[in-house]
Structure 1
Amino acid sequence: MSGVEEVVLAEPRGFCAGVDRAIEIVERALKKFGAPIYVRHEIVHNTYVVEDLKAKGAIFIEELDAVPAGATLVFSAHGVSQAIRQEAAARGFSVFDATCPLVTKVHVEVAKLHREGYDFIMIGHKGHPEVEGTMGQLSEGIHLVEDVEDVERLTVPADRPLAVVTQTTLSVDDAAEIVAAVKRRFPGIREPKQQDICYATQNRQDAVKLLAPSVDVVIVVGSPTSSNSNRLRELAERLGTDAYMVDSPDDLDPAWFDGKRRVGLTAGASAPDILVQQVIERLRALGAVSIRSLPGAIESVHFPLPLGLGDKAMGIAPKA
């Protein structure tokens, strides 16, 4: 029998500015140009968001040859390689770039330092679209490491300066450990002026560090493909608290809450608040009578939309 009495909400949780911007780009493109709008890769890694945009007329593709000539194409928030950009230009698509500006910052840094003669070590998860996009900024000279063991095995040219960059949605603690290993092996390596892990990833992980020790079990709302959501679940477990990730309230298993009086709840940066509210309602049905929020960082970041999507002609004033 469930013992749920209280739900404790992490702050902040859910959508970040980059996700808000990416979804708005697709929605505004649909409003301005009509369906279909083609999107390369899932716009963000969340099943609910993707299905909602599909219902509105977005078509998600992986290969550009699936996009008809003259179509409008949106690049996902994770960013794309230079090869994809060049192919889209060659095919003549009307392109709107929903790459998170914090990912774009990493791409710009890579291009700048490459011109200065640097090779790169990238810390990230192999196969993740953000990693593929960042590594795809160069045709050579960028080496992926996923853990400390990869750092020890790495061979790089001895005659070129090195710089390190990271995926923006990593575990802050894991990344720090790997960066430390990189610096031990390559003492002269150049680090970014500001860490590449984004403010929203940092804030949500900090919130879980506050949440997990004060509850009996942590629920993370997020899709299996969401890197930052997975990191939140792993972090709660590392802190000694049982933790589960759910894509929707239907994924909740009442057995998780046997003898668990206080449930912590957070959401990855690509998970919409409607799912959090649905999970809260399910927890109410399991006995929760109290809902409260922990104090946390207040986020006021806003990223502007691409030119052409904030037009007054659409009846929508551009955001400041």
Structure 2
Amino acid sequence: MTETRHAKPSLTIHLCAPRGFCAGVDRAIQIVELALEKYGRPVYVRHEIVHNKFVVDGLKAKGAVFVEELEEIPSEHASRPVIFSAHGVPKSVPADAEARKMFFLDATCPLVSKVHKEAEIHFRRDREVLLIGHAGHPEVIGTMGQLPEGTVTLIETEDDARAYVPKSDRPLAYITQTTLSVDDTAGIVAVLQERFPEIVAPHKEDICYATTNRQEAVKEVAPKVDAMIVVGAPNSSNSQRLREVAERAGCRTSVLIQRASEISWPDFEGIAALGLTAGASAPETLVEEIIGAFAGRFDVTVETVRTAEETIAFNLPRELREATGPATAATG
């Protein structure tokens, strides 16, 4: 008796490009790896270097120790290097590190540092500063912490923008978190500019190139597929925004998952086209893992949909450049 083999259903995976690591994330991870190479283990990292458990666990295995506050570092290890995460930190953190005579390396994304500098310039020019962002996100905490407490007002929604009452008759200026939804932010800015036509905008868009590019790729793919998977962590702002962008672009099933083991297969029954992208802190190996999981159940064809090329490069900290030889920049 001949065994009947059932053919697997066909599935086209539309792979968004750009996706995954940006130059800022790549640089931050390199800083931890090069610090371990140069100074040995342990190297301490304040907060998750980037919001991805796979990346953090990999660095832990190499000798990185993650803490939320500097006081968690044992006194006998006070001379060990400590690294500040890609999201940036309030000014009080490096000041605390200096007071404790700690050696620290700053892995803050240069595009976040740009927003920090903007905040300081507005403050020096006696402007009232509004920050468009999400309360509690490490980047927002770091940016607000560049100026004296109570100086920066957080605006999270269009309703916040409508309700905002200036604290004085000083000129207004706004800055933004780098990982926001481009469309959501445009709506908030429109409200602020309608109410306060003289409000000072950033010289160049604060939402980073990688966030914008990944959202544009999702907008291109989402209307053409039956479901969209965003690879990323639940606490990753840019990954959450990608899932929301896919939903708004018309994709009826849009989910954020960290690993292939989290796939809820009933959600993908009967689909013929799947969109797949990854947040800026998600490594490509996790994307490949998910493609492999679908290939076990479907006859998969992968098509890349590219909407931008990325060639951005950021220099590594001076202390680590000699450890890299000729390569002194992280690219994305």
2:178 is paired with a residue whose SS is: coil
1:305 paired with 2:311, answer: no
TM-score, normalised to structure 1's length? Answer: 0.96
Identity %: 50
Structure 2: which 5+ runs fail to align?
1-5
Q: CA deviation at 1:251?
A: 0.6
Equivalent AA in structure 2 for residue 147 of structure 1: T
Aligned to 1:92: 101
CA distance in 1, matches of 2:33, 2:222: 36
1:77 paired with 2:77, answer: no
1:108 paired with 2:108, answer: no
Give the root-mean-square deviation of aligned CA atoms. Answer: 1.4
Alignment of 1:191-202 (within 5 A): 191-202=201-212
Greater Rg by CA? 2
- Is the 8 Å Cα contact of residues 166 and 197 (structure 1) preserved in structure 2? yes
1:289 is paired with a residue whose SS is: strand
Q: CA deviation at 1:78?
A: 0.2
1:15 is paired with a residue whose SS is: coil
2:306 is paired with a residue whose SS is: coil
Equivalent AA in structure 2 for residue 155 of structure 1: V
**Cα displacement string for residues 98-130 of structure 1 (whole angstroms, at most 9, x for unaligned residues):** 000000001011111211111111000000000
Aligned to 2:268: 257
Q: CA deviation at 1:22?
A: 0.3
TM-score, normalised to structure 2's length? Answer: 0.93
Task: Find the partner of 1:273 among 261, 264, 284.
Answer: 284
Aligned to 1:240: 250
2:240 is paired with a residue whose SS is: helix
Aligned to 1:210: 220
CA distance in 1, matches of 2:249, 2:226: 12
CA distance in 2, matches of 1:13, 1:24: 19
1:80 is paired with a residue whose SS is: coil
CA distance in 2, matches of 1:295, 1:172: 19
CA distance in 2, matches of 1:80, 1:56: 24
**Cα displacement string for residues 263-311 of structure 1 (whole angstroms, at most 9, x for unaligned residues):** 1100000000000000000010121321110122010101010011011
Equivalent AA in structure 1 for residue 180 of structure 2: L
1:39 is paired with a residue whose SS is: strand
CA distance in 1, matches of 2:37, 2:29: 12
1:169 paired with 2:179, answer: yes
Aligned to 1:159: 169
Equivalent AA in structure 2 for residue 116 of structure 1: R
Q: CA deviation at 1:245?
A: 0.8
Q: CA deviation at 1:315?
A: 6.2
Q: CA deviation at 1:197?
A: 0.1
CA distance in 2, matches of 1:138, 1:65: 23
Alignment of 1:13-24 (within 5 A): 13-24=19-30
Q: CA deviation at 1:4?
A: 5.1
**Cα displacement string for residues 198-255 of structure 1 (whole angstroms, at most 9, x for unaligned residues):** 0000000000000101111001000101000000001111112111111001011111
Q: CA deviation at 1:161?
A: 1.2
CA distance in 2, matches of 1:4, 1:186: 54
Aligned to 1:59: 65
CA distance in 2, matches of 1:211, 1:86: 45
Equivalent AA in structure 2 for residue 135 of structure 1: M
- Is the 8 Å Cα contact of residues 4 and 259 (structure 1) preserved in structure 2? no
CA distance in 1, matches of 2:132, 2:104: 29
1:141 paired with 2:151, answer: yes
CA distance in 1, matches of 2:300, 2:82: 46
1:295 paired with 2:306, answer: yes
Number of residues of Structure 1 aligned to a counterpart in Structure 2: 318
CA distance in 2, matches of 1:202, 1:108: 21
Structure 1: which 5+ runs fail to align?
none
2:131 is paired with a residue whose SS is: strand
